[in-house]
Structures are given as structure tokens and as C-alpha cells.
Structure 1
Amino acid sequence: MKMMLVSFLILCACLLVPTIVFAEATNSNVVYGLTQGRLWATLDAALGLVSVVIGGLSLARSVRRIGNGGRNGAIVATVLGLIVISYAGVHLTIFTGDFGTGAGRAGAIIGILMGLIGMVLAGLTLARSRRTG
């Protein structure tokens, strides 16, 4: 399980970092470097990744049935996932630039997806803990 989690983190880092930092566009509004929008989107995606990690760890804990079956971690992952989704949604409404203009839209969308994945993992944990406990 730990090896799969490490592999997932490496995959996310390989896909996320080049997309946000070195985004290119075909129009004349090409912006290089870390803009305010990209920084905000990076924070969205990082918090979403934390939600996924906490949700995955709570799901692994629910399999072992130690303690409360991972319910605390599932609740934290759910709350963090909701925060990430709302934060990234606000980001998408404030920064209206297109992809590659430095607005960070791709990172915000990745943050929303990570928040949803974290909430799904937390929901699986809560369903399993209700069924067994």
C-alpha cells in the first residue's frame, strides 16, 4: 500500500508541476514563471493531494480495524476536500484567463479533482466503518 501511495505521489508531481509552472499558449499573452494565479492553483492542488493522502491512509486504517477504523481521518479528509473544492471554485471565478496565460485554471481544476477523490476515499472509509462497527 505504501509503495502504491508513493507511486501515486510521484505521478501527481510529474503531471502537476510542468503543467502549472511551464504552461505555454499560442497567443501573444504568454506568461512564464510563477504568477499569482499559478501560485494559488498550486496551493489548491497541494491541499487536494493532502486530502487524497489522508483519505487513503484512513481507508487503509479501516482495513486493519485498529482504533476507530479510520473515522477521524475520513472526517478530516472530507472537510479538507470540501475546503479545496470551494477554494478552487472561487479561484476559477476570480481568474478568468485562458489556459497558459498564468491564471492557474488547470491547477484549480486538478485541485477540484483531488478534493473529490479525497472525499470519495473518505466516504468509502465511513461506509466501511459503519458496516463493521
Structure 2
Amino acid sequence: MKTKLVSFGILCALLLVPTIASAEVTNGNVVYGLTPGRLWATMDAVVGLISAVIGGLSLARSAGRFGTGSGRRGAIVAAVMALIVIVYAGLHLANFTGDFGTGSGRAGAIVAIVMGLTGMVLAGLTLVRSRRSI
């Protein structure tokens, strides 16, 4: 389980790197560096990644892989964080209307939504499993 979690974290980091470090040529304009849109999207994606990790850990706890308990608290925390990430990333997509590579952070917001949905699914699986065991 730990190797899967580590590989998931590495995959997420590899998905975040292009949103931070790269810029594409769009209509002759090149945007390099960390813009406010990219910063907002990066923060959303990091919180979404934390939500997915907490959801995965609570799911592992509910399966009895480590610790004692049902993992309900971690699942609730992961679900709340995931919901906040999805709402903020959706607001980001609505407010920043530039294309990919313009510094608006749209790719990072999409990654954040995917991370939030992953955290929500893992939290839901944990809550279903903990309800079944009671």
C-alpha cells in the first residue's frame, strides 16, 4: 500500500510540474514564472493532493493495514478538504479565462479538481467500509 501511495504522490508531482514551470507560446506572448493564476491553481492542487493522501490513509486504516479504528475522522477531513478544493478550482476556472500557457493556471485547476475528486472517492469508500463494520 505504501508503494502505491508513494507512486501516486510522484505521479501527482509530475502532473504539477508542467503547470508551474512551463509556459507555451500563445499568440506570440510567452509567460514564464509563477503568475497569480498559477499560484492559486498550485495551492488548490496541493490541497487536493493532501486530501487524496488523507483519504488513502483513512481507507488503509479502515482496512486494518495499520493502526486501530475505522478511519472515519480522516475520511471526513478528506471529504471536506476535497469539497473545498473542487469549489475553489471551479471558481478559478470561471474567473481566469486565459488559454493554456498564458499564466492563468487552468491546467493546474483541472489537476486540482481531479485530485479533489480522488480524495472524495477515497473518503466515500472509507465511510462506506466503516459503516458496514459497525
Once residues 48 and 111 of structure 1 are traced to their aligned partners in structure 2, the CA distance between those partners, rounded to angstroms, is: 6
Indicate if the aligned counterparts of 1:99 and 1:106 stay in contact, CA closer than 8 A.
yes
Q: CA RMSD in A?
A: 1.3
Give the equivalent residue in structure 2 for 1:81.
82
Instruction: Write the distance in 1 (CA, Å) between the matches of 2:132 and 2:15.
Output: 36
SS in 1 for 2:91: helix
1:104-132 per-residue CA deviation (whole Å, 9 max, x = no partner) reads 00000110110001000000000000111
Q: Distance in 2 between matches of 1:32 and 1:41?
A: 15
**Quick one: distance in 2 between partners of 1:31 and 1:50?**
28
Residues 72-115 of structure 1: per-residue CA shift (max 9 Å, x gap): 00000000000000011111111111110000000001101100
The aligned residue for residue 125 of structure 1 is 126
Any idea what SS the aligned residue of 2:132 has?
Answer: helix
C-alpha distance in structure 1 between counterparts of 2:111 and 2:11, whole Å: 13
Match of 1:35 in 2: 35
TM-score w.r.t. the length of structure 1 is: 0.94
Q: State the partner residue of 2:117.
A: 116
Give 3-state SS (helix, strand or coil) of 2:29's partner. coil
State the aligned residue count. 133
Please give the TM-score of this superposition, normalised by the length of structure 2.
Answer: 0.94
Structure 2's unaligned 5+ residue stretches are: none
Deviations 1:28-66 (A, max 9, x none): 122011101001110010000000000000000000185
Indicate if the aligned counterparts of 1:20 and 1:106 stay in contact, CA closer than 8 A: no
Match of 2:13 in 1: 13
User: Any runs of at least 4 consecutive aligned residues in structure 1 with deviations exceeding 4 A, and if so which?
Assistant: none
Cα shift at 1:3: 1.4
Identity of aligned residues (%): 73
**Equivalent residue of 1:64, what SS?**
coil
